[in-house]
Amino acid sequence: MEIAALGIDVGSTTVKMVAVNRAGEMVWDHLEPVDPRVAQQVDSFLEKLRQEIDSLDGIPLVATGYGRNLVKQAVKNITEITCHSKGVFSQLGHGGTLIDIGGQDSKVVVIGAKGQVVDFAMNDKCAAGTGRFLENSAARMQIPGSEMGPVALSATEEVSISSTCTVFAESEIISLLAQGVAVEPILMGLHRSLIKRVVAMVRSVGLVPPLLLSGGVVKNPAIRKVIADETKEEVFVPEHPQLMGAYGAALFALKLN
């Protein structure tokens, strides 16, 4: 395996590392839930990679994400907005409006025709527009994270969730379940509630088509469907949506090589 550069994205929920070759192709990746001892976790990521190649000496590492300043091995730190845009633009080959939904934040970035960041908005203050909103609600219904999307898509009807706050939505779910409402329509309503918040952010920035998606939450098929429904736009998703920040960081590191 030829490795020319590395990128790491220390997110609020997961840590992702990507290695690229000289051509900028992703040749290795690793993802784990974030550990509060980030410095040790980064060491263990590098150790994992070291077991697969002879030496990491001289291979530049760029860090991004919420915890990027904790990565002491990085030669440079770059914001998530810039790295996600770089990763998605390189994978999909065109600009547009990027929606990135992570575990505890969401962002909207308008990416120009040359891959530059034209405008952006970010929500890292309220869980309701993030993966956390769905995870908490699904946990209440004893549905595992990877099943939330498929279960929601099996619904034949949908319940409107009126609470916009994650904590109150949980109380609303308990009350709906007590009334005998099935989990599928509740889950579909929760997906729509989350996406309505994200789409409001898209409207505030201004939607420049096409619509591009990244972040772990867009691996959920119901999320992709509801975004397309609510915006009436076709959505474009890179092959590894959760790795786009780390991939973008690795591409920036490649330029330093």
Residues forming the site for ligand ADP (CB under 6 A): 11-14, 102-105, 131, 135, 145-146, 148-149, 215-217, 219-220, 242
Q: Considering beta carbons, is residue 224 or 254 the nearer one to ligand ADP?
A: 224
In the complex, least distance from residue 140 CB atom to ligand ADP, rounded to whole angstroms: 14
The length of the chain is 257
What are the tokens at 173? 């779910």
- Number of helices (H), then strands (E), in the chain: 8, 10
In the complex, least distance from residue 68 CB atom to ligand ADP, rounded to whole angstroms: 11
Q: Which residues contact 113 (CB under 8 A, 6 or more apart)?
A: 94, 95
In the complex, least distance from residue 138 CB atom to ligand ADP, rounded to whole angstroms: 9
In the complex, least distance from residue 44 CB atom to ligand ADP, rounded to whole angstroms: 17
Q: Considering beta carbons, is residue 150 or 206 the nearer one to ligand ADP?
A: 150
Q: Considering beta carbons, is residue 102 or 185 the nearer one to ligand ADP?
A: 102
Q: Considering beta carbons, is residue 24 or 145 the nearer one to ligand ADP?
A: 145
In the complex, least distance from residue 106 CB atom to ligand ADP, rounded to whole angstroms: 9
Closest C-alpha among 16, 6, 14, 66 to residue 35: 14
Q: Considering beta carbons, is residue 29 or 105 the nearer one to ligand ADP?
A: 105
Strands (E), the chain: 5-10, 14-20, 26-33, 61-64, 76-77, 96-101, 106-111, 117-123, 211-214, 235-236
Q: State the CB neighbour count (10 A cutoff) for residue 65.
A: 30
In the complex, least distance from residue 22 CB atom to ligand ADP, rounded to whole angstroms: 27
Closest C-alpha among 64, 55, 58, 57 to residue 18: 64
Q: Considering beta carbons, is residue 12 or 73 the nearer one to ligand ADP?
A: 12
Distance CA 245, CA 64 (A): 7
